[in-house]
Structure 1
Amino acid sequence: MTPVEPPGVVAEIAGLATHVVVDGSGPPVVLMAALGSNWFDLDALAARLADSFTVIRYDRPGYGLSASLPRDRWPTLSGEIDRLEAVLDHLGVTEPVVLAAHSMSSLYAEGFALTRPGRTRAVLMIDGTFSLIGVRAVPTARRVANCHRAADVVARLDIPRRLGPAAHASVLPRPPEGYDESQRHWIRHVFTRVDMARATLVENAAYPAIDEDLRALRAERGRPSMPVTVLAALGDGGGWRSAWRSRHRRYAAALGASYEEISPAGHLLVLSRPALVADAIRRLVRRADDGWVRAAGAPDPMR
């Protein structure tokens, strides 16, 4: 069988072997994957943007083809902000970027926008994570240690090799055009390794501390200074739909952001509705451009 070459490169970034994929040309857009997601989960969205933008993706520690963090370390808000900046530095990207962050990665995107405003052009929160109250109770080190013990058991039982690809197929929706052979290869490769399960468990365990750090950052720095859109994925109907809309409207209000929604759509809309997410990114870029023109003293085209 002919070896399948991985897309992109694996480079030493912020002290860790990091998988980075770049497609297209034009203004830079960084697609940030959700908890438990990898670069190929963003392929369909990237393909719909690469004709107009330089689309940047990277796997966080333990995901995709990136190395895992040591057992005594876990994701932190400052660490992931630094990692994103290091990826941009490695690529030589100096102009401000659009961040399109799905689910939990919205915390990292907001943190980057607050601490690196000069490097951030606009932010799209794609069904982002927004906690209404603090959630940390158990110390992070203990939570992470328990996750490593659970991952060790998963590895001993050989669960990733036996069930990993089937779990991906049963949990994640397929993109509209399906997967090609190269994508199927990398799904099998990633989901048959325990690193993926371990990274998901550990990042989830670190979430309360990341959320707490972001709350402190919000209190210190306020709202992002650039255009932000909160994009909610709404189901077909029922009480959950209303609650999810209300939650994301509150999220938008807290960020001083515009609010948009896609319906019907599940949480993994980057896979199931990539064309509509790409349209939301383009609308946000136009809004950011309009703001730049007005700031430069030109007439407001909306008047």
Structure 2
Amino acid sequence: MTSEITLFVNPTAGRGRGAHAAQPAASALRAAGFSVRTILGEDAADALTRARAAVRGGTGALVAVGGDGMASLALQAVAGTRTPLGLVAVGTGNDFARTLGLPVRDPAAAGRIVADALKGDRLRDIDLGLVNGTWFGTVLASGFDSRVNDRGNRMNWPVGRFRYDLAMLAELASLKPIPYRLTLDDGEVREIEATLVAVGNGSSYGGGMRICADADPTDGLFDVTVVGDCSRSTLLTVFPRVYKGTHLSHPKVTVHRAAKVELAADGITGYADGEPLGALPLTARCVRGAVRVAGL
């Protein structure tokens, strides 16, 4: 492995934590004997172009500093290559770091873990989801949760997470079941009415909501969590349990496992790693060992 490491930084992540996090992460890598170059990018597209160029140029690793959005960009650059991915999670959600068991909002500790893993060649291959050429590491969301995202993204006020809290209240007021067509591993088409369907390579989304609590990113399968036709009161009962993963035992919740998932529903946008993928229908495939990660 070359001793040059590329730090892939989102300076605005976590309301500015990304810019401050780059320095201790870089210091930990340099202390381990690596040389570090930093790439920023003028916008997401430019940042991804620069990251892909670094991977093609033979960088020893790409270390993403930011939140799940930055991790998602980094995945597009390294997936399908043998270039290791490191993660210094300092964003708002940080669900990919949680999937990997890495520190959250502790850039010095995360930098040391990445440095030690790279220096000791302690790398592991994990699965990723793939939808229309876009890779994801955590959860593909569709339904009530993605409608909350849609509404929140249209709102200019308030800022931060409160925007999505208000969006959730608005969506609860208009809650109604969604007719889905769900196909698992090219099996029969299942016509169901559900509140949401979440396809998990990792266990959580939304900053620690363990919607696919038992998902294992090394087993070659998605966990597909289906929350059935719920009333508002039932959903308000089920949703707080998502943070501990205990919602999976609720009678309105079922879990399937599959390597390929086809989702169809009218008027629903799919989101993966918090980023919009586009309107359903969408087909997600679990690709075994798609990315090499440096971590625990």
* Greater helix fraction, Structure 1 or Structure 2: 1
TM-score after normalising by structure 1: 0.31
* Greater strand fraction, Structure 1 or Structure 2: 2
